[in-house]
């Protein structure tokens, strides 16, 4: 099995310091001979030939480093989250040419931008986590891992297959990246429905096949810039994949006899936590001597066996109610008097032009926008059906239909029945009409009456076959989705405003003043919306809260 040494990673000086002294080797052996690389192995750049070290063994293209004290192999790992961030940065900056397995296709971030624009007209989206911010990262934002994981996710790949089937190779590559990240970041010992999320070794044949495919295709891709050569992150992926296989094959033999490896423990975060714990034992002494470092490691090993006492010297108060600081702040703010008309009369006048007995008109899928909206509605309807499946089994479809749920499901999603899907589409007509603003706005949210309970009761009266708890849960979920969409629009508007203010700081046109006035006018409605919706707290479990952040206000629906 192949692995690498420090010289191949460009970390020769640092690792050589570790293997030079016996006490460092003793500490190294406590970590089961794992060596981590903080960032991408920059030393790979320009390395056309690797010489065999004095205490190493050449295995093919990569060198197997031997621990001279324990005579065991030293396995090296690059930080996987850092590698996926580097791949994301290359993807949003330049085009990428894939390998022969994907027909040498060139993929671009413009395709993701098109996917986002297709869903921008509705608050129900297939890739609801994906926004323009994922493609326009600046400064320290490029160091975040979550946007990279959300970009190369399973839902993004399936959305490409569902809406843009001509980009099949790009979707398959995203699926491979998602499977590889699941495999290289397993966090639980329990077996999952997805075998790639299980610990490495529990589904060995499938996991090794996926790991080899990921390593091969990452190595074969090329960044379409002035120097389309192998980048450091590609060698980092190859390093970690081969080291993981070799480490498992070695540790499953006697005397260790392990059954699996938690791959998330092979990333940098856990190593930094271990070093932080060692430094924390000495309080202000951050640079211990070798003997002191060994004593600290022994103390941590002994401290891991300490257990907290099961009984205490105080009596627990089981009847005590705990409140969060956000809920206490909301309870302390008085709700001003609202001039709300009689709710029943208001709703009847608002929804009088919708006939509940009319047949549901399924949207004609004549465009990609309608296809995306219908797929998102089917997904939300299945989510609600799964919540009430025990009491209302008729909400679940017996068979399966060709739709978004069938595309994205991994055998654990619920396909809504035809009856419930048609009722859900009718609910959508009432919901959109109820929240339609009188004046044009960047979002639609009713501020004249309470937002949840009146509409839920109205829907229950018009459709008595649907229980009240189902209609109330539907209104709560849809209100949360609508508010989440408003949050994204607020943040993107403020982000765009700050960028325009920086670029056009010396030149201000009347069009810019008008656009800024519209944004500020919409943001001034935040406090009014909070008062209106929170007046419904006496009958609804959740509440909508406005974060007290002056620069970026955010709506939040709690306890749903």
pLDDT at 160: 97
H and E: helices and strands count for the chain: 20, 9
Residue with tokens 């590889």: 180
pLDDT at res. 548: 35
Q: Which of 43-47, 225-229, 446-450 has the lowest mean pLDDT?
A: 43-47
Tell the residue number behind the tokens 């995306």, with chain if given: 372
78-88 pLDDT per residue, tens: 999 999 999 99
Rounded to an integer, the average pLDDT of 93-102 is 96
- Decide: helix, strand or coil at residue 381: helix
SS3 state of residue 167: helix
Q: Where are the alpha helices (DSSP H) in 21-153?
A: 22-30, 80-93, 109-118, 146-151
Confidence band for 496, pLDDT divided at 50, 70 and 90: confident
- Choose the weakest-confidence range: 129-133, 216-220, 428-432, 442-446: 442-446
Q: Which of 96, 251, 239 is nearest to 174 (CA)?
A: 96
pLDDT score recorded for residue 334: 61
Instruction: Answer with the residue of higher pLDDT: 387 or 3.
Output: 387
**At 415, phi and psi to the nearest 5?**
-90, 120
Residue 363: the pLDDT is: 60
Give the pLDDT confidence of 140-192 residue by residue, as tens digits.
889 999 999 999 999 999 999 999 999 999 999 999 999 999 999 998 888 77
Percent of the chain with pLDDT over 90: 44
Closest listed residue to residue 339, CA positions, set 509, 528, 480: 528
The two three-digit tokens of residue 487, written as one number: 């949050």
Q: Find out whether the peptide bond into 326 is cis, omega within 30 degrees of 0.
A: no
* pTM of the full structure: 0.76
Number of C-beta neighbours around residue 225 at 10 A: 13
């Amino acid at each position: 099995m192949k692995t690498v040494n420090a010289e191949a990673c460009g970390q020769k000086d640092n690792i050589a310091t570790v293997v030079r002294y016996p006490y460092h080797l003793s500490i190294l052996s406590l970590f089961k001979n794992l060596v981590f690389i903080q960032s991408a192995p920059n030393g790979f750049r320009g390395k056309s030939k690797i010489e065999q070290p004095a205490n190493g063994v050449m295995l093919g293209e990569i060198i197997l480093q031997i621990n001279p004290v324990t005579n065991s192999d030293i396995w090296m790992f690059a930080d996987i989250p850092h590698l996926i961030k580097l791949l994301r940065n290359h993807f949003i900056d330049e085009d990428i040419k894939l390998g022969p397995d994907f027909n040498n296709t060139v993929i671009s971030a413009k395709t993701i931008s098109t996917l986002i624009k297709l869903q921008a007209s509705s608050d129900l989206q297939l890739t609801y986590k994906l926004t323009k911010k994922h493609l326009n990262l600046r400064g320290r934002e490029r160091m975040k891992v979550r946007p990279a994981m959300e970009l190369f996710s399973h839902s993004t790949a399936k959305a490409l297959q569902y809406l843009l089937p001509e980009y099949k190779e790009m979707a398959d590559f995203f699926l491979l990246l998602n499977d590889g990240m699941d495999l290289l970041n397993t966090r639980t010992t329990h077996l999952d429905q997805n075998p790639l999320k299980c610990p490495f070794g529990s589904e060995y044949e499938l996991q090794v096949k996926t790991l080899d495919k990921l390593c091969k295709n990452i190595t074969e891709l090329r960044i379409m810039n002035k120097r389309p050569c192998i980048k450091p992150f590609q060698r980092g992926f190859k390093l970690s994949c081969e080291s993981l296989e070799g480490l498992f094959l070695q540790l499953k033999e006697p005397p260790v006899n392990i059954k699996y490896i938690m791959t998330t423990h092979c990333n940098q975060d856990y190593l930094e936590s271990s070093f932080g714990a060692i430094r924390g034992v000495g309080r202000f002494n951050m640079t211990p001597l070798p003997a002191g470092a060994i004593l600290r490691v022994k103390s941590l090993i002994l401290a891991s066996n300490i257990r907290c006492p099961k009984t205490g010297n105080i009596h627990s108060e089981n009847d005590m109610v705990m409140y969060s600081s956000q809920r206490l702040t909301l309870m302390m703010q008085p709700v001003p008097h609202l001039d709300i008309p009689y709710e029943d009369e208001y709703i009847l006048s608002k929804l009088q032009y919708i006939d509940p007995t009319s047949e549901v008109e399924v949207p004609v899928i004549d465009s990609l926008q309608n296809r995306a909206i219908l797929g998102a509605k089917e997904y939300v309807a299945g989510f609600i059906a799964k919540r009430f499946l025990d009491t209302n089994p008729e909400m679940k479809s017996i068979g399966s239909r060709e739709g978004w749920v069938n595309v994205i499901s991994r055998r654990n999603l619920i396909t809504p029945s035809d009856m419930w899907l048609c009722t859900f589409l009718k609910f959508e007509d009432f919901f959109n009409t109820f929240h339609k603003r009188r004046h044009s706005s960047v979002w639609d949210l009713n501020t004249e009456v309470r937002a949840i309970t009146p509409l839920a009761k109205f829907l229950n009266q018009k459709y008595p076959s649907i229980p009240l708890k189902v209609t109330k849960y539907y209104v709560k979920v849809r209100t949360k989705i609508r508010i989440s969409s408003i949050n994204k629009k607020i943040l993107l508007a403020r982000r765009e405003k700050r960028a325009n203010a920086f670029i056009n700081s010396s030149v201000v046109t009347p069009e810019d003043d008008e656009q800024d006035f519209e944004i500020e006018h919409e943001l001034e409605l935040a406090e009014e919306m909070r008062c209106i919706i929170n007046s419904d707290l006496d009958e609804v479990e959740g509440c909508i809260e406005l974060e007290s952040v002056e620069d970026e206000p955010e709506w939040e629906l709690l306890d749903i």
